[in-house]
């Protein structure tokens, strides 16, 4: 077991934070979260605005006891589940491989770079 001084560990994490792989990982994660947030909050604010300024719109019957308001709420759940599934797939295919590279670089030690090259 190799024991390192705290400054060496800190330098290693600072180097990992500024690595190209970590920056790409952050950029990809933030890009997905941005568009997913815009979609969800756009849907939510649209529903809130319709409920506030056009309440008769939500009172329209679709079939039987189901009206547009109830359908909108149910579609909100579908939207959340869909966005969650898309994020899981995106993370598995685009984020996890980069995260593994960053982790492997940190576990390899201070003399090995993120891709396994010796410094």
The alpha carbon torsion through 71, 72, 78, 82 (nearest 10 deg) reads 150
Please give the pLDDT value at position 98: 95
Which stretches in the chain have pLDDT values below 50?
Answer: none
Q: Which residues, 6+ apart, have CB-to-CB distance to 60 below 8 Å?
A: 67, 68
Please give the pLDDT value at position 2: 56
Q: Where do the H-state alpha helices sit in 91-117?
A: 96-108
Which tens digit of pLDDT belongs to each residue from 48-71? 999 999 999 999 999 999 999 999
Please give the pLDDT value at position 113: 54
């Amino acid at each position: 077991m190799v024991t390192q001084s705290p400054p060496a560990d800190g330098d290693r994490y600072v180097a990992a934070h500024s690595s190209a792989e970590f920056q790409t990982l952050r950029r990809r994660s933030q890009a997905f979260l941005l568009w997913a947030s815009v979609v969800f909050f756009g849907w939510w604010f649209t529903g809130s605005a319709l409920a506030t300024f056009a309440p008769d719109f939500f009172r329209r019957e679709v079939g039987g006891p189901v009206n547009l308001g109830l359908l909108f709420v149910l579609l909100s759940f579908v939207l959340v589940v869909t966005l969650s599934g898309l994020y899981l797939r995106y993370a598995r295919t685009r984020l996890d491989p980069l995260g593994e590279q960053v982790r492997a670089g940190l576990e390899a030690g201070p003399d090995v770079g993120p891709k396994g090259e010796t410094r």
